[in-house]
Amino acid sequence: MKMVFRWFGEGNDSVKLNHIKHIPGVEGIVWALHDIPAGEEWPKEQIEAVKSQADRHGFHIDVVESVNVHEDIKLGLPTRDLYIENYKKTIENLAAAGVKVICYNFMPVFDWTRTELFKQLEDGSTAMFYEKAKVENMDPLELVDKIGNNSNFTMPGWEPERLKSLRELFDRYSWVTTEDLWDNLKYFLEQVIPIAEQNDIKMAIHPDDPPWPIFGLPRLLISKENIRRFLKLVDNPANGLTLCSGSLGANPDNNIPEIIREFADRIPFAHIRNLKVYENGDFIETSHRAEDGTVDICNIVKAYHESGFTGYVRPDHGRHIWDEQCRPGYGLYDRALGIMYLWGIWDSLVNGNRQKDSIKSQDESIKFFQKGVI
């Protein structure tokens, strides 16, 4: 596996590239041009600027997370073609800079959702938390009024400018069924996947987080069956997954090692993290260690190893520890600990196999010796 680390860019991240450099085995940064609005072409000069910053620290920029999909594409509006054309140009521009994987998602209206960003854990650290009932009982349109009265109001994971047009977006989505969303995703893939293939880029969709519909909006990438359906929409190796153990793991019915084994050849990029799911469906993000949460991290890494995985991996959200002031979920310390845990499991699997191989070759030599060959 190729270890990479998400970095939000100079002036945009409390974590410095020279500090990432201290984490063993990290070879590249996972990046994006965060100031370019969804739907616009990413300019070559800005891509090159990030590449030179990464180069100076000996990091590659193979993985982009993410090139966001304009809402009109998800809604299937006539204007989508313009945004899809821009998306294709962005793919070409990224390929010209050597990018290999583009992560994106197809979640309507907003990205991942949590109800608390800094909930205290028993050990005194804090982490992101999702209270299921709170989201279920929330009328998203009431938020619109709140926003009207308070321009500083934010919801974790929601882009501020999307919040402002929330009522309009919800109105538009009221006509979009789950099947329409599948059709709109297919339309998008049919156009961008050939361009990605020609440019030697793997498109890697991120699962929906949490993996169930919220606020009555449809959600697609939530289970093994739906992932299977997704991969068949355009059955091409350039159409792949960002397999996120934390997103899918919020639903304990998702058997992630099984999902990895079934789709291994279509996973160019893995997010590995743990969380603890409570009986009422709430969940909190814990350390990466298997024992601390309900996601089977050891068997997940084992499934990648046994599948001969050579793709990119990043630790995902961490806790906020040692008084670090950072973006929610994206501090240096806990993600660095996460990496060491993932390497620990991986290296012991690799060495276990090496040992087995050397025992095998010892056995072979003994056989040859016995046969008088040596």
Contacts with ligand DNO in 62-81 (CB under 6 A)?
Answer: 65-66
The continuous run of DSSP H or E covering 271 comes out as strand 269-272
Q: Which is nearer to ligand DNO, 162 or 167 (CB)?
A: 162
Q: Judged by CB under 6 A, which of 90, 93, 105, 223 binds ligand DNO?
A: 105
DSSP secondary structure of 244-261: EHHHHHTSTT--HHHHHH
Indicate whether 292 belongs to the interface with ligand DNO (CB under 6 A).
no
120, 227, 266, 289 from 319: Cα distances, Å: 10, 28, 29, 12
Indicate whether 111 belongs to the interface with ligand DNO (CB under 6 A).
yes
Indicate whether 87 belongs to the interface with ligand DNO (CB under 6 A).
no
275-277 and 283-285 strand pairing? antiparallel
* 201-227 burial: b if 16+ Cβ within 10 Å, else e: bbbbbbbbbbbeebbebbbbbbbbebb
Q: Which is nearer to ligand DNO, 17 or 38 (CB)?
A: 38
Q: Which is nearer to ligand DNO, 47 or 204 (CB)?
A: 204
Minimum separation from the CB atom of position 271 to ligand DNO (A): 6
Minimum separation from the CB atom of position 68 to ligand DNO (A): 6
Tokens found for residue 26: 């990290």
Binding mask 326-365 for ligand DNO (x = CB under 6 A): ---x------------------------------------
- Alpha-carbon torsion, ordered 329, 336, 304, 64, to 10 deg: 60
For ligand DNO, which stretch binds (CB under 6 A), given 44-52, 98-106, 140-148, 189-197? 98-106
Contacts with ligand DNO in 190-229 (CB under 6 A)?
Answer: 206
| Angstrom distance (rounded) from CA 346 to CA 243 | 17
CB neighbourhood size of 340 (10 A):
13
**Residues interacting with ligand DNO, by CB under 6 A?**
65-66, 103-105, 111-112, 206, 244, 271, 317, 329
